[in-house]
Structure 1
């Protein structure tokens, strides 16, 4: 196989993974449903090979579980996974913020405020999730800790299904999240770095509790 063919195949697999990921997050594919390579390949007009590679990528991200002869299963949402994701986030995010704070500039804060303002008026859940990540990413990137950022991105990918369920069911959660983000910015601008890190930890704990409660309500409903 030529290098060009390898690049084209990898690009196709990444694009198939992107499409399938959006469908899972958007609820088009339901938990407990099996995705089959043949059907996806036919629908998207690609060969089975990039579909298989896309499903392998999604499995590594926690979006599917591949089962021999049956296809790729959309796993059920789990309160245990919620707890683990947020416990890990509460280790990684304060670590990133602590290292970023001495290097944050007025430009970083202005950009974070822009993302926050855009998220307040956003009606689309997928776009809201992107703005939420952009807000946090802007505050963490000055830490210059690419491995920690990579770990966090993987955690947020795993959390995305839960977050979108939470946001779709609770407008109060959105308002509270925006208020806590604004408070975080205020503390940073006031130079209260210890308080800012503490506020971030509390924000993550609040988010965990809110997601867990929403998850419980959705299951009972």
Structure 2
């Protein structure tokens, strides 16, 4: 029973997270449990657990007398997000490269190709985030992976809110260089390229 409820709450949290990232909910908007419960056809308990997950991710905040609301778009935090990603992701990749299986490498390259072929910004963002997650999957540090995932979601929300109109389809040469280094099992080169890649975040 608890496992089934956890699955429901995880599904609700993941769906709401992407809807917040993609701008369906405005900053400061109240996330109403009754409405969400009705939308997902579930009780209030898994919805409440899902909302607490969003708070832990930084996508929502809990306010006295208002309940849980969508987190504001904090422009002052963007620099911090970039610095943290530049510190954590190359480290995770450095430890990941020696341990990636052939299947994981192919999955990462498939995500790279989806990213390059994307015709819409939401499609690109999802494939881009998938690529970044897949290349660090072998690092063996679940807490680090979880923290990086949170940072990526918060950055994706910023990117989609401010850069969607300027987005254009393109081949990502940094992704190609990272994959080339991974296939050569050159962890240091892959990490250096990723560091350079993340330094270009806008």
TM-score past 0.5 threshold: yes
Q: Distance in 1 between matches of 2:185 and 2:10?
A: 42
**Structure 1 residues 102 and 51, CA gap change in structure 2 (3 angstroms):** closer
Evaluate the alpha carbon distance shift between residue 141 and residue 13 of structure 1 in structure 2; reply closer, same or farther with a 3 A threshold.
Answer: closer
Residue 20 of structure 1 and its aligned partner are, at CA, apart by 2.0
- The 5-angstrom pairing of residues 190-209 of structure 1 reads 193-207=187-201
The residue aligned with 2:141 is 145
**Structure 1: gaps of 5 or more residues:** 211-221
Q: Is residue 125–residue 167 contact of structure 1 (8 Å, CA) maintained in 2?
A: no
Return the alpha-carbon distance in structure 1 between the equivalents of residues 14 and 78 of structure 2.
23
Asked whether the equivalents of residues 36 and 70 of structure 1 are also in contact (C-alpha less than 8 Å), the reply is: no
What 5-or-longer segments of structure 2 have no aligned partner? Answer: none
Greater fraction of residues in helix:
1
Residue 175 (structure 1) aligned with residue 173 (structure 2): no
Name the residue aligned to 1:186. 180
Q: Answer yes or no: is the 8 Å Cα contact 1:103–1:142 preserved in 2.
A: yes
Contact 2:93 2:191 (C-alpha < 8 Å) held by counterparts = yes
Match of 1:23 among 15, 19, 24: 19
2:52 aligned with 1:65:
no
Equivalent pairs, count: 202
Do the aligned partners of 2:21 and 2:153 also contact (CA within 8 Å) in 1? no
Summarize the alignment of residues 1-221 of structure 1 with structure 2, pairs less than 5 Å apart.
4=1, 6-104=2-100, 108-166=104-162, 168-172=164-168, 175=170, 178-189=172-183, 193-207=187-201, 210=202
Distance 1:109 1:41, change over 3 A: closer
Alignment check: 8 A CA contact 1:97 1:197 kept: yes
Report which structure shows greater RCO (CA 8 Å, sep ≥6).
2
Aligned-partner Cα distance in 2 for 1:75–1:140: 28
Question: Which stretch has the larger CA shift, 114-123 or 132-141?
Answer: 132-141
**Does structure 2 retain, via aligned residues, the 8 Å contact 1:180–1:203?**
yes
CA shift digits 1:106-157 (9 cap, x unpaired): 6554443322111112234444333223322332223323232122122222
Structure 1 residues 73 and 121, CA gap change in structure 2 (3 angstroms): same
RMSD across aligned positions (CA): 2.6
